[in-house]
Amino acid sequence: MINSKKSGILARREMIEGYLFISPWIIGFIVFIAGPLCASLILSFCEWGFLSPPKLIGTKNYINLFEKDPLFLQSLRVTLRYVLISIPLGTVGSLLLAILMNQKLKCISLFRTAYYLPAVVSGVAIALVWMWVFNADFGILNYLLGKLGIVGPRWLFSRTWGLPALIIINVWKLMPSNMVIYLVGLQSIPEHFYEAAEIDGANWWVKFWKITLPLITPIIFFNLVMNLIVSFQMFTEAYVMTGGGPANATLSYGLYLYRVAFEYFDMGYACALAWVLFAIILLCTLLVFKSSPFWVYYEAEVRGYKQ
């Protein structure tokens, strides 16, 4: 009886100590994440311009988004094009780069480090460097195109080429971190799979299609979800490089949300924009999860292949 009482006291003491140790994280989560999330959800049903108290207006903000705000639809179109083009290109490019970096070559570690460096550089610094690259008068890209006899466009000042320029930057940004994750996956594939395939006469394409690709589908799935979330929130490049122009051709959803909140000071409307973006990202992520049973293999098995 005494032992059980002591054990109960010890269990409660350990529980209290455990909560005390994690209390900084709990406080930080409530103050900086959960609290602002709940506040933004409430404010999305209000009219609030900072200078006056919030006024409850129901679903008016959400109705105005779809019925009276052409910039909302324009920013959504721009962001969807940005996501739908840059993610496939980034996925394929980073996978090919990982395959190259997986070769057993001299000084390969140096190349891996060099290709990964963009992942640790500030987004603003990247945007400033690419502004020089895309400069219409003395940028290196137009200079190289000129050497080929091609007159380069005015990239960041063109309604046609402004968004493709931002897509190129996003693909370039996605590749380093994705490459490292793919590289880990490639190096974790057992060598005896390839040895068995070679004995059966499989060429490099069959080995890639029937062994490599199925075994790294969980990594492709992970990168796809993460890239989807990050790309939908594109802000820095549009803000620094184009300001959403010309003629709103590069007005991303994140940039428009920023303008509404901190330039037009309509915080309630901005909160509604934020929650619509959350719903879109959630829907797209759920669709990817729903599709995963048809193409993601979690078991270390390779189905039969044909030469």
Question: Average of pLDDT values for 227-249?
Answer: 92
Q: What is the pLDDT of residues 27-55, one digit of tens each?
A: 998 989 999 999 999 999 999 987 788 89
User: Is residue 3 packed enough to be buried (19+ CB in 10 Å), middle (13-18) or exposed (0-12)?
Assistant: exposed
Each residue of 85-110: pLDDT tens digit?
Answer: 999 999 999 999 999 888 887 888 88
Kindly state the tokens that stand for 43: 């404010």
269-281 tens-digit pLDDT:
999 999 999 999 9
> Contacts by 160-166 with C-beta closer than 8 Å and gap 24+?
160/249, 162/242, 162/245, 162/246, 162/249, 162/250, 163/78, 163/81, 163/82, 163/249, 163/250, 165/130, 165/134, 165/241, 166/82, 166/234, 166/237, 166/238, 166/241, 166/242, 166/250
Whole-prediction pTM:
0.87
Question: What percent of the chain is predicted at pLDDT more than 90?
Answer: 53
